[in-house]
């Protein structure tokens, strides 16, 4: 099995952390979906990473589908709880964390454009999503040990990857100064081998 991914993608990192937690062997194929010669559209018509390629050639995307697949095929370290209520809670965390990444990625792309081509309203709209998203993460976490209570889950992985992506691309967003409970969680996550091994390279 192989994972087509860029090392800076927060969605790909979520999958790589899940693969490490579940101790699943795979080949990592590094690809930038933005490179002129990218082969990503050969695997995913949407041209996005991550893509997981099964041994029979089946391609899986996006990151949420891949993680659900991984959790289904291996019972090691369950990341998505079985009971439906808890399962939905964890998937909501993932949607929130991924949504923060969506807005953070949109901000990166917009601010790469020539200053005169940048749309200020669009930038403010995306920034507001990040700010509200962070507030919701912190409120939902409260003083719990992990996002979903007592047990480590996909909710923590998605949240940790989103926070680290903000550190990577938006160092000016001071989530650390505003949300000590998210800092505590991020520190705990960084100590896990799955996170330590997938730290994105600094640009």
Ligand X SMILES: N[C@@H](CCC(=O)N[C@@H](CS)C(=O)NCC(=O)O)C(=O)O
Residue 46, number of CB atoms within 10 A of its CB: 12
Least distance from ligand X to the Cβ atom of residue 152, Å: 20
Degrees, nearest 5: CA angle 165-59-100: 20
Which one of residues 4, 11, 13, 79 is an interface residue with ligand X (CB under 6 A)?
Answer: 11
68 binds ligand X (CB under 6 A): no
Pairing of strands 2-5, 27-30: parallel
- Evaluate whether 122 touches 110 at the Cβ level (below 8 Å): yes
Cβ closer to ligand X: 158 or 179?
158
- Alpha helix ranges (H) inside the chain: 10-21, 40-43, 63-73, 84-112, 120-141, 154-169, 175-178, 180-190, 193-196
Residue list 90-109, contact with ligand X (CB under 6 A) = 98, 105
167 binds ligand X (CB under 6 A): no
Which part of the chain contacts ligand X (CB under 6 A), choosing from 46-54, 71-79, 148-156, 180-188? Answer: 46-54
Which one of residues 28, 29, 62, 170 is an interface residue with ligand X (CB under 6 A)?
Answer: 62
Least distance from ligand X to the Cβ atom of residue 146, Å: 21
183 binds ligand X (CB under 6 A): no
Residue list 73-92, contact with ligand X (CB under 6 A) = none
For the residues of 135-146, what is the DSSP string, one character each? HHHHHHHTT-SB
Beta bridge partners of residue 5, listed in sequence order: 30
Least distance from ligand X to the Cβ atom of residue 81, Å: 20
Least distance from ligand X to the Cβ atom of residue 162, Å: 11
Compute the distance between CA of residue 159 and CA of residue 143 in angstroms, rounded to an integer: 15
| Contacting residues toward ligand X, per CB under 6 A | 9, 11, 33, 47-50, 62-64, 98, 105
């Amino acid at each position: 099995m192989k994972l087509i991914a860029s090392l800076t993608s927060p969605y790909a990192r979520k999958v790589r952390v899940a693969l490490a937690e579940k101790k699943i062997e795979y080949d990592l194929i590094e690809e930038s979906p933005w490179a002129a010669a990218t082969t990503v559209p050969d695997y995913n018509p949407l041209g996005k990473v991550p893509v997981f390629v099964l041994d029979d050639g089946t391609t899986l995307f996006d990151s949420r589908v891949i993680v659900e697949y991984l959790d289904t095929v291996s019972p090691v370290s369950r990341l998505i709880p079985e009971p439906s209520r808890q399962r939905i809670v964890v998937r909501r965390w993932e949607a929130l964390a991924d949504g923060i990444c969506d807005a953070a990625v949109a901000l990166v792309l917009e601010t790469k454009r020539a200053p005169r081509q940048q749309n200020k309203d669009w930038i403010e709209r995306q920034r507001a999503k990040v700010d509200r998203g962070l507030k919701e993460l912190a409120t939902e976490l409260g003083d719990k040990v992990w996002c979903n209570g007592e047990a480590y889950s996909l909710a923590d992985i998605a949240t940790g990857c989103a926070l680290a992506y903000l550190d990577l691309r938006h160092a000016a967003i001071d989530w650390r100064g505003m949300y000590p409970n998210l800092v505590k969680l991020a520190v705990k996550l960084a100590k896990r081998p799955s996170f330590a091994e997938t730290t994105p390279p600094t640009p």
